[in-house]
């Protein structure tokens, strides 16, 4: 295994496998299909193929380099693994093209992949200087530098507040606008320095690197992550066969809230109040498999610091859509 793969430790791996296991080991399903919607370096996928030897895996990623590396890793599994260059909200199209009507398991690991954080020239990490790119698929869309250099100040403030939950958004954006008039932004170190200088002392003393929230906000904007996720989670639930299960790992409150809302809506009884018997069409489609969001263990966080913010939610499809 090459160093790219050994440095990647899949988050909450055992718990994800255990959550999906009843759906992938159902009697009567000869070849269960499991979709890894966020393939990355293939750590979760490799474990799924190993633990469930009758399963077929569909792996999606928008990052061509991730697909290449995970393709090498999963090559020993041959035709059991089908890897597709796609964003995860394209899941219905991918399944339609492959002629797969429903699947038994779906996994989302919404964190930035270790490879993207560790590749210095991608600009995801604030700890090292790099071009401000942040695109997960570098063949399309605007880079983080273009966002910083061209968005109106009000829009930048909205992004930092909404996606980064940055209380000092106005201060940071004022500094960005002032600096970009002198010279456009190209690299991450200049942005990190500007944020440090813009923040009051008290704000620098809490919550790790002061640039963390701004970088998160830019990454979400550049990749359209929340709007993609808003489409992807309901589409994934719709793709599950009855008895199928979905597990979602999210890494910040915005993602987790969105997943929680979709799962809660699916698990709710939608009947008008006062009906003596609830008709089938109003009964829940989903059963929640986790009480709230599950957290990684202290041991896991000690071994893999990137697991620290993870939140895991699971649900099971218990009936078809109402006609």
Check the annotation: does 137 bind a ligand.
no
Check the annotation: does 116 bind a ligand.
yes
DSSP-H helix ranges across the chain: 3-6, 13-24, 43-51, 64-74, 91-98, 114-118, 144-150, 153-164, 169-182, 188-198, 201-204, 212-223, 225-239, 253-266, 298-303
Find the radius of gyration of the CA atoms of the chain. 21
Check the annotation: does 197 bind a ligand.
no
CB atoms closer than 10 angstroms to residue 119: 16
Residue at token pair 């999963």: 74
Structural contact between residues 272 and 133, judged by C-beta atoms closer than 8 angstroms: no
What whole-number distance in Å separates Cα of residue 113 and Cα of residue 134? 12
Check the annotation: does 109 bind a ligand.
yes
DSSP string, 194-244: HHHHHS-HHHHTSSS-TTHHHHHHHHHHHHTHHHHHHHHHHHHHHHEEEEE
Check the annotation: does 126 bind a ligand.
no
Q: Minimal CA–CA distance to 105: which of 280, 229, 247? A: 247
> What's the token pair of residue 32?
């269960």
- Binding residues for S-adenosyl-L-methionine are 42-44, 61, 88, 109, 116
- Binding residues are 42-44, 61, 88, 109, 116
């Amino acid at each position: 295994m090459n160093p790219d793969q050994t440095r990647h430790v899949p988050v909450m791996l055992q718990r994800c496998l255990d959550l999906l296991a009843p759906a992938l080991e159902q009697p009567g399903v000869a070849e269960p299909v499991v979709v890894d919607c966020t393939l990355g370096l293939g750590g979760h996928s490799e474990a799924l193929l190993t633990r469930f030897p009758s399963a077929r895996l569909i792996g999606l990623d928008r990052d061509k380099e991730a697909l290449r590396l995970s393709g090498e890793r999963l090559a020993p599994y041959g035709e059991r693994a089908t890897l597709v260059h796609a964003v995860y909200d394209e899941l219905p199209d991918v399944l339609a093209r492959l002629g797969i009507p429903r699947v038994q398991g779906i996994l989302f690991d919404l964190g930035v992949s270790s490879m993207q954080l560790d590749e210095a020239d991608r600009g995801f990490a604030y700890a090292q200087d790099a071009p401000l790119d942040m695109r997960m698929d570098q063949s399309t869309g605007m880079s983080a530098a273009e966002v910083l250099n061209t968005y109106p100040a009000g829009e930048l403030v909205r992004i930092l507040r909404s996606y980064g939950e940055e209380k000092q958004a106005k201060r940071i954006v004022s500094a960005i606008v002032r600096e970009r008039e002198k010279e456009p932004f190209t690299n991450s170190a200049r942005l990190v320095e500007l944020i440090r200088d813009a923040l009051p002392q008290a704000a620098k003393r809490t919550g790790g690197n002061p640039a963390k929230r701004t970088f998160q906000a830019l990454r979400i904007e550049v990749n359209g992550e929340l709007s993609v996720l808003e489409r992807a989670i309901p589409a994934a639930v719709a793709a599950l066969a009855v008895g199928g299960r979905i597990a979602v790992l999210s890494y910040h409150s915005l993602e987790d809230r969105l997943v929680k809302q979709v799962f809660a809506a699916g698990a709710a009884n939608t009947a008008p109040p006062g009906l003596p018997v609830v008709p089938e069409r109003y009964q829940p489609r989903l059963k929640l498999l986790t009480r709230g969001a599950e957290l990684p263990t202290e041991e896991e966080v000690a071994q893999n610091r990137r697991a620290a913010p993870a939140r895991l939610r699971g649900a099971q499809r218990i009936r078809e859509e109402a006609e």
